[in-house]
Chains A and B, each alone.
Chain A
Amino acid sequence: MPASHFESVSVRNLVKTYHTFDALSDVSLDIAAGEFLSILGPSGSGKTTLLQVIGGFTGPTSGKVYFGDTDVTNLPPQKREIGVVFQNYALFPHLTVAENIAFPLKARRVGRADCEERVAQALRTVDMEGFGDRPIAKLSGGQKQRVALARAIVFEPRLILMDEPLSALDKNLREAMQLELRNLHKNLNATIIYVTHDQREALTMSDRIAVMNKGKLVQIDQPKALYRAPADHFVASFVGEATLLPVTRLGDRQIGLGGATLRTPDVTTDGKLFVALQADTILLCDDAEDDADSNYLNGTVRDLVYQGESLKADVVLDDGTAIACRIASHHYNLRSVPELGHRIRLKMHVEDTIVVPG
């Protein structure tokens, strides 16, 4: 593989203040060359501001941005050599597909023959051969997405920034594009920073995920670690579909939930604690079952909602707290699906009984 033009990115103590509002407060982040990093957070968490600062569209109040070893903090976007894919693609509507992709090359005065060859190559990379002469208005959402991607990679940028690029697509296309993006990332060995509020998207594609909340970086980890070991109450509630309940610490590996005692992996922190009960880790079980690896809860079914591949059950535990769990809706399960108002017994694995600080 030829030496990659993609570089590492380093963000040091970034602060961005609008009037009195801290959009970013002291964010530091290191992204390795060739890494796919997602920035995950709710709207207003500062994730888009971070992208804007890395892209050079807005300057930080303080802090530094490095590409490789180069300080680019004061460099305007046209000198940063970054491929940006915008939320609404930001394709030029008055140009054809090929002209859009050639735009960054022409801005760099690349010769005509070279330009044509690289445009053709970029079209091949995103599987859009033969679409060069199409006007932008004639493309579907997925095709626009591909063209925007081709335009962002054709000039061999140092990194690729993506701002929720798939949010306008319908679910099936979005999932297909996620896998394609993942493959493209592997093939190009590209450094990609991907902003999203969709946790599943982040989990699907990323090498690592940086979770942001209220202008702060809360946790940066690999998808599995993020899901299995959330750093705090916010991450646990944002990733997955968890019910968070306040618990008391009874021992190193024991917590009290209402009247029940649950076993957990190591609980090292003191102070306010919550158990994060992920809906898909809670299973129905028989009254008689008693396994050493399981925690058991008893409750009453208050609500059942059919949601296609699964049923979402709203269960009230004996002490009055409500939790959500999912029951797969295939026919093997149909017999055991409880009825409204019936008492049920639930179990979850000790390792899935995750405790986070509040």
Chain B
Amino acid sequence: MTDMPKLSAIERTEQRSFLLLFLPALILVALIIFAPLGKLVVQSFQDEGAFSLVHYKRIVTERIYWSIFVDTLEVSLAVTALSALLGYPVAYAAARASRLWTGLILAMVMLPFWTSVLVRTYGWLVILQRRGIVNTTLMDLGIISKPLELSHNYTAVLIGMVHVMVPFIVFPLYAALSKIPPELAQAGNSLGGTRSYVFRRVILPLSAPGLLAGAVLVFVLSLGFYLTPELLGGGKTIMVSSLVERNIEQYSRFGAASSVALSLLVIVLAIFWVVDRVLPVEKIIGVK
């Protein structure tokens, strides 16, 4: 018993030295994150070297800014929903398949990762354009007489973005689904639950944390997407990132660009704060 205080004292000094050891890394990371952010904040409140609220005023008053923010959120939500719908069956199949098939499915999901987004986006352009593979095939088969408008519009943006985003939701979902013991589905069936009943009452709630994690990832990544909407959208679907780019590239208005970027950041943080308050995450996961 007499050794106890000594032991805890040793533990305390050890903890202090550990803290000292990782302090440099902590400072470095903090600098990398907060220094540019700080610079953005300062810039956004400056106009021609003096303090000014003109950039924020513009965002609030000009309709075009508003509608770009709304469009960005709408596209991101749609991409998240579509990625979830397409990714869930893939993740489910991977989680329930034999080892060989699991490896194959996940490799297929990973494959696009190793190709540049630029190449993939141009690939979609080739497939979806007026004389692209889809339209020529459908016309050759006599299913349509005029080419469908598949590229340079909202549809094309969604297709291109979902293609990039699906892996980001498949992996967290796969992780969550493969942790659900297969006996739970068997138990659900033996207790009289049909397949869809067991899915709704057991599998879906238990995979909700993975679904939520993947959805958040896809949503956040979508908000900042630039290349795909720019190339496939034909100028009709303008995202916040394009707004930032235009302010810098065309008008060299760093203050305006900073204020737009920060506004998006604030909106995202606000959304997550609300989601965290409203969604009973702990109840869904079944802990606490």
Binding site for B on A (CB under 8 A): 55-57, 76-78, 80-84, 86-88, 90-95, 103-104, 106-108, 135-137, 151-152, 155, 161
Contact = CB atoms under 8 A, between A and B. Distances in A.
Instruction: List 9 A-B pairs, minimum CB-CB distance, nearest first.
Output: A94-B286, A104-B191, A90-B187, A90-B183, A84-B190, A107-B192, A107-B193, A77-B189, A77-B190
Interface residues on B, range: 20 to 34
Interface in B132-189: 181, 183-184, 186-189
A262 to B, nearest CB: 49
A103 B188 contact: yes
B25 interface: no
A93 B190 contact: no
A84 B284 CA distance: 26
Contacts of A80: 190
B186 A77 contact: yes
Contacts of B190: 55-57, 77-78, 80, 82-84, 161
18 contacts: A57-B189, A77-B190, A78-B191, A82-B190, A84-B190, A84-B191, A87-B183, A88-B181, A90-B184, A90-B187, A92-B201, A92-B202, A93-B206, A94-B202, A107-B188, A107-B191, A107-B197, A108-B192
Contacts of A93: 206, 286
B194 interface: yes
Contacts of B202: 92, 94
A94 B194 contact: no
A88 B183 CA distance: 8
Nearest to B285: A94
A51 to B, nearest CB: 11
Nearest to B288: A135
A20 B280 CA distance: 50
A251 to B, nearest CB: 55
Contacts of A104: 191-193
B170 to A, nearest CB: 22
A84 B195 CA distance: 17
Nearest to A81: B192
A107 B194 CA distance: 8
Contacts of A84: 186-187, 190-191
A93 B205 CA distance: 10
Contacts of B286: 93-95, 135-137
Contacts of B197: 107
Contacts of B193: 78, 103-104, 107
B186 A86 contact: yes
Given A94-B206, A104-B192, A151-B191, A86 B183 contact: yes
A121 B202 CA distance: 24
Given A104-B193, A155-B192, 12 more contacts: A55-B190, A82-B190, A83-B190, A84-B186, A90-B183, A93-B286, A94-B284, A95-B286, A104-B191, A106-B201, A108-B192, A155-B191
A78 B183 contact: no
Contacts of B206: 92-94
A249 to B, nearest CB: 49
Interface of B: 181, 183-184, 186-195, 197, 201-202, 205-206, 284-287
A76 B191 contact: no
B186 to A, nearest CB: 6
A121 B205 CA distance: 27
Most buried by A among B201, B205, B285: B201
Nearest to A80: B190
Contact of B189 (A78, A94, A136): A78
Contacts of A90: 181, 183-184, 186-187
A152 to B, nearest CB: 8
A152 B194 CA distance: 16
Given A84-B186, A86-B187, A78 B192 contact: yes
A206 B104 CA distance: 47
A161 B244 CA distance: 64
Contacts of A76: 189
Contact of A94 (B187, B191, B192, B205): B205
Name, among B187, B188, B190, B286, the residue most crowded by chain A CB atoms within 10 Å (CB to CB): B190
Contacts of A95: 286
A76 B186 CA distance: 11
A251 B193 CA distance: 62
A86 B202 CA distance: 16
Counting chain A CB atoms within 10 Å of each CB, the highest count among B188, B191, B202, B284 belongs to B191
Nearest to B180: A93
A57 B191 CA distance: 12
Contacts of B184: 90, 92
Contacts of A152: 191
A26 B189 CA distance: 27
Contacts of B186: 55, 57, 77, 84, 86, 90
B147 to A, nearest CB: 47
A90 B190 CA distance: 11
Contacts of B187: 84, 86, 90-92
A56 B187 CA distance: 11
Contacts of B287: 137
A93 B191 CA distance: 16
A46 to B, nearest CB: 18
A78 B194 contact: yes
Contacts of A77: 186, 189-190
A78 B205 CA distance: 20
Nearest to A91: B187
Contacts of A136: 286
A52 B29 CA distance: 55
